[in-house]
């Protein structure tokens, strides 16, 4: 538990090391990973003769069936970074790569329109992240989603998208569940927020809500 609390201070940088989204707790050197990913993608797109930046890729009959043998990504996964129209594809929340990510997971990180997709809080990758968790990293609008405090990473630390948002936006302090939603360690989004937003220390529950170790948000940073 002590290690978990210490990890809170570095959790954002851990998330942001991932090129696309969350690749769990992988520790590959970011520069080496970037070079390897680039070369791998260049080879893949040369082989299939498709350009993910070309919107026409979405009309290709094999856009969701061709797969990069190394990563398991389909052209639909790659297109999700560039085109919000990918959200209209019937396989956007069905086809997965080797990390269990759907194109919707990727689209949610780049396009706030993904928040309106019916599966944004339903499909999970192998690290138990939903597309909504990914949206919570980039868009304040995720705070308004009805499931932002309800979807937990049940097999991991139990974080909800609200826990993720707490690391990025002080507006999370206005959410009614900021001191209620708890992960498997009893930590609320408010426990996370105190590390990033000084305003969190003024929240009325900063002295009250306790984690599984009996620590309040304020005690974590004292």
Computed over every residue of the chain, the mean pLDDT equals: 87
Identify the DSSP state of 54. S
The least confident of 66-70, 84-88, 148-152 is 66-70
Spatial distance between the Cα atoms of 127 and 22, rounded to a whole number of angstroms = 8
pLDDT tens for each residue of 173-199: 999 999 999 999 999 999 999 999 999
The Cβ-side half-sphere exposure at 191, using a 13 Å CA radius, reads 29
Give the CATH class of 2-220. mainly alpha
The rounded percent of the chain whose pLDDT value lies above 90 is: 73
The full 3-state SS of 184-201, as one line of letters, equals CCCCCHHHHHCCCCHHHH
Single out the residue of 139, 105, 143 nearest to residue 122, CA to CA.
Answer: 105
Report the chain's terminal Cα–Cα distance, integer Å: 17
């Amino acid at each position: 538990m002590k290690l978990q609390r210490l990890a809170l201070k570095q959790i954002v940088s851990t998330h942001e090391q991932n090129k696309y989204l969350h690749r769990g707790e992988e520790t590959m050197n970011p520069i080496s990973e970037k070079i390897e990913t680039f070369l791998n993608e260049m080879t893949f797109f040369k082989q299939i003769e498709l350009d993910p930046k070309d919107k026409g890729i979405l009309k290709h009959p094999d856009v969701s069936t061709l797969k990069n043998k190394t990563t398991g990504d389909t052209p639909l996964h790659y297109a999700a970074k560039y085109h919000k129209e990918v959200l209209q594809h019937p396989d956007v929340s069905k086809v997965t790569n080797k990390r269990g990510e759907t194109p919707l997971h990727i689209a949610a990180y780049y396009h706030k329109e993904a928040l309106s997709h019916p599966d944004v809080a339903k499909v999970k990758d192998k690290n138990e992240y939903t597309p909504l968790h990914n949206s919570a990293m980039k868009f304040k609008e995720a705070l308004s989603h009805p499931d932002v405090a309800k979807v937990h990473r049940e097999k991991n630390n139990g974080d909800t998208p609200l826990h993720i948002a707490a690391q990025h936006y002080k507006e999370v302090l206005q959410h009614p569940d900021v001191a209620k939603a708890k992960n498997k360690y009893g930590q609320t989004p408010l426990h996370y927020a105190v590390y990033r937003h000084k305003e969190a220390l003024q929240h009325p529950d900063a002295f009250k809500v306790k984690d599984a170790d009996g620590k309040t948000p304020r005690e974590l940073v004292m």
